[in-house]
Amino acid sequence: MSRQSIFITGAAAGIGQAAARLFAAKGWFVGLYDVDEAGVQTLSRELGEDFTCAGKLDVTDPDAWEHALAEFAARAGRLDVLLNNAGILASGPLESIPLARQHLLIDVNIKGVLNGCYLALPYLQRTPRSRVINLCSASALYGQPSLAVYSATKFAVRGLTEALDLEWSEYGIRVMDVLPLFVATDMVTNMNANSFRKMGAKLTAQDVADTIFKAARYDSKIPKVHWTVGFQTRAFYSLSGAAPDLITRFINSRITGSH
């Protein structure tokens, strides 16, 4: 039996790189894909080119996805986990962020995940008990001011995850998402949001990678779709399901300094 394999987008840095290191250390074959081709090639050499493959991938480009998945499948022989990790962020008042940048958030964070799910399905169907893990965010629990479009994209990822987990259960494919709060990576550098200024980034990329690995190995008959990372996110997640919208809105307004 060939070793288990994972295809990771946004693998050159941050959470994607931490996940790549962890899965490689656990003996998985790891596909490293990113718009930063030099970064993933360097990581591939470090982790071992016999147990990794690496290449450039713009997740907004379906043709690039098809090429990357075919290349990966030829090397790995199977696709156990698709990790849709690639994402971008823009922060600040909605009107202060160029509209083109807002559209790019949608293209990368939503269409990139859709492209991956759609085009990876035939490979996932050929691998028993395969799964998709989508990087989501605690901002998908209640819309966040100064992160409005980013937050909206993560709501979309959450909805897509829930729908596909039900839809693809007939194929034996599980679809999950991981919801961290702010993570200490380059993505939050110079973030312009009151919630970040008040709460800071208490999670590390390794914290998120550890949760991703647990999701990849989860084997209970009881479905677990949403995976929170850290105490703060678990608390917000529990609150979002239990508290009325007015209370949730009030708590978020206090955290973000909005009214």
Alpha helix segments (H runs only) across 126-193:
148-167
> What is the DSSP code string of 5-50?
EEEEESTTSHHHHHHHHHHHHTT-EEEEEES-HHHHHHHHHHH-TT
Q: Is 123 a catalytic residue?
A: no
Query: Which value, in Å, is the radius of gyration of the alpha carbons in the chain?
Result: 18
Q: Judging by beta carbons within 10 Å of its beta carbon (0-12, 13-18, 19+), is residue 166 exposed, middle or buried? A: exposed
Nearest to 187, CA basis, from 77, 56, 91, 101: 91
Strands (E), the chain: 5-9, 29-34, 52-56, 81-84, 131-135, 174-180, 226-229
The two most distant CA atoms of the chain are separated, in Å, by 57
By the 8 A CB rule, do 88 and 113 touch? no
Contacts of 225 (CB under 8 A, 6+ apart): 161, 162, 165, 175, 176, 177
| Catalytic residue chosen out of the listed positions 33, 123, 142, 150 | 150
Residue showing tokens 């490689």: 24
Q: Which two tokens stand for residue 163?
A: 């729908």
Pairing of strands 52-56, 29-34: parallel
The set of catalytic residues is 150
